[in-house]
Structure 1
């Protein structure tokens, strides 16, 4: 591997090791029985696919593993090497879970196992990017294979048995067909990812809701120094939390009155809407992103990068707190007033995170309508008083046919 590639991989590993940023947990409101009635109609079956079969499916693009995901590779080279070693040794491999695409029989999106699949694709030289065709490293048992590439093993007659073992090992593969809606896949996705590494639902959303906006927001997050600074990174976030923050910001800024209390569904609909109307919305979305960048600069200047959207003494980035901060700081007049009076903003923030009402709104049922309204309204009203400005804040509204919703027609 070239020295420059090694340095890039080392830097990515350092980012992952040094960046202990964790998002505060967030659970959507429970689904109504009518919304889960069709769940029993979904068909789930499992079979043992050989590694050779899995690679063939990947090469034929039947399992979606597009270059956009490959740019967010989360595993370091040593982790990939140990995984390949396990395959060659015939160790059991954790299952992968696939969902068949609607209207595309035999084509799948990945709910669980992306990093394992990507490692297989890269090792055999069928991927893109600097890790394609990587050399084996980090081996603990088959140290005789250290530094070897797939191409070298393939050309060495003495390694034929190792290649046979590699291709013939099996991976338990669970396939979901006839899934009723995206809520079902989100439920499955989150149930699968209950371990120490919390995956972002945005990873699933990128596959479920493709389109011009979805591509745009991924590219924007990858190129954004602002979002990387916000998350304390120097590389794109492998969990796509950078993309999720941008989609979340745009959703609240543009579609808040349509929010029903289910964040994952809200963000899905935001992507669907902007994909459908991208020709009309592209310019205004770019302006919104420019306001986001300016707001992040201002908030970091006021709070400091390590303290932004965190409670005192915590390193945990709280998305619910960030909702309120970015919602108002993205307005130019409010932002200027905040940067002109940073001490007043800091004092207001300290009082807010000590207030039981605000604390509950950013820690408990943060996806629900009441607490979503409460944190936006609380911070907005307090900010008006501290800055001496007059602007609109979101308010609760009881709509006859829809129940309680958040009413908001713009800050001005």
Structure 2
């Protein structure tokens, strides 16, 4: 007898048991030592956050998921759905069936359940940034099915003790159903205070990450700083030449982050904005400023990015990889900025000139040092951008110091 059901997207093959996992790789093949940088002046909670505890029964949690009071992100880069600007939240990181069963059994046995973290949005909806798998498991069990590749399967317990084996929510005796529905789960609700609050929430979730899979910096940014800049980065990330240069999409959204770095560093060339480490804080500040409105020259930026990626790809498809292996983050942001500045300044670039400029950069010891050592130091960031601008504008690198 099959365990599949014919509701939703149709029955799943009999041999499919675990929930469907993302087909997108989890981690990018990128060299980026700046991910280990520490913020020397992190925001203090009392200055930027308000938080309090609340208890929700399982029945209430499920209802809030259904009416979208609670939003569960999964950070799937290829998703099309959008919820209040928090895009990319479709299919993603999921528990195996055994983990789901054991969690439900813990509730039926009366064991305490780990708490969840919620972030209150201006709309008074709540973003779940810790506890995603627990929430989706509760919802799936209540509704008697969960998604798998090729359809859905009936959510009957398998990896549990004999007393519960084979049971669905509908099969539970009334006393167990009441126990399940009325089990309370503690939530910590975090309320950001303005833009400083978003930065503090970012710092908080950098630190907790208590779930089975840690959130990556750009995943947290996409959730907390949703708006015009996040959407613009996502649009640029779909550029076909950029995709060929960077490689396949990944769930850590590192491709998004490198584009964001280029955009933020570009402002240090055209405006009086100054880069101050760490890079993560610098990027958060850029998103905070541009969450509601992009720079006035956004159309030009898009054209320059597109043209720069085309030239790079035709000059050298492996242009972002030093040594031909991994994408180098510091080299990538510098090359993108240098090219975009040169294009914007009207420099007559062609594939041969770009190829020659890249070779000049790779042959310069000071540039190689700037993209491989202490890459988040302000002087090194300024140096690598200065070198790439000089190279693509046809100026001798020996004059840069």
Aligned: 1:309 with 2:329? no
Contiguous gaps of at least 5 residues in structure 2 = 74-80
> What TM-score, normalized by structure 2, do the two folds share?
0.68
Distance 1:335 1:126 in 2: 59
- Are 1:325 and 2:335 matched, yes or no? yes
The verdict on how the C-alpha distance between 1:162 and 1:192 changes in structure 2, with shifts beyond 3 A counting, is same
Q: Does 1:107 align with 2:116?
A: no
Secondary structure at the aligned position of 2:116 is classed as: strand
Find out whether 1:376 has 2:385 as its counterpart.
yes
Using CA pairs below 8 Å that are at least 6 residues apart, which structure has the higher relative contact order? Answer: 2
Structure with greater helix percent: 1
Q: 1:336 aligns with which of 343, 351, 355?
A: 351
Q: Does structure 2 conserve the Cα–Cα contact (< 8 Å) formed by 1:99 and 1:108?
A: yes
What is aligned with 2:191?
177
Shift in alpha-carbon separation, 1:394–1:116, aligned structure 2, 3 A? farther
Kindly report which structure 2 residues correspond to 1:35-184, keeping only aligned pairs within 5 A, or say none.
36=43, 39=46, 42-65=49-72, 67-68=81-82, 69=87, 71=89, 73-76=91-94, 79-90=95-106, 93-101=113-121, 103-104=122-123, 106-118=124-136, 120=138, 140-141=159-160, 153=168, 156-157=170-171, 166-177=180-191, 179=193, 180-184=196-200
Q: Aligned in 2, Cα 1:183/1:195: closer, same or farther, shift over 3 Å? A: same
TM-score, normalising length from structure 1? 0.66
Match of 1:21 in 2: 29
- In the TM superposition, 1:274-285 aligns within 5 A as 274-278=290-294, 280-285=296-301
**Secondary structure of the equivalent of 1:204?**
helix
Pairs aligned (count): 364
- Taking the aligned partners of 2:399 and 2:173, their CA distance within structure 1 comes to 66
C-alpha change, 1:31 and 1:62, in structure 2 (3 Å) is: farther
CA contact (8 A) 1:62 1:107 kept: yes
SS at the partner of 1:181?
A: helix
> 1:49, 1:171 within 8 Å by CA — same for their partners in 2?
yes
Q: RMSD over aligned Cα, in angstroms?
A: 4.8
Report how far residue 24 of structure 1 moved: 2.2
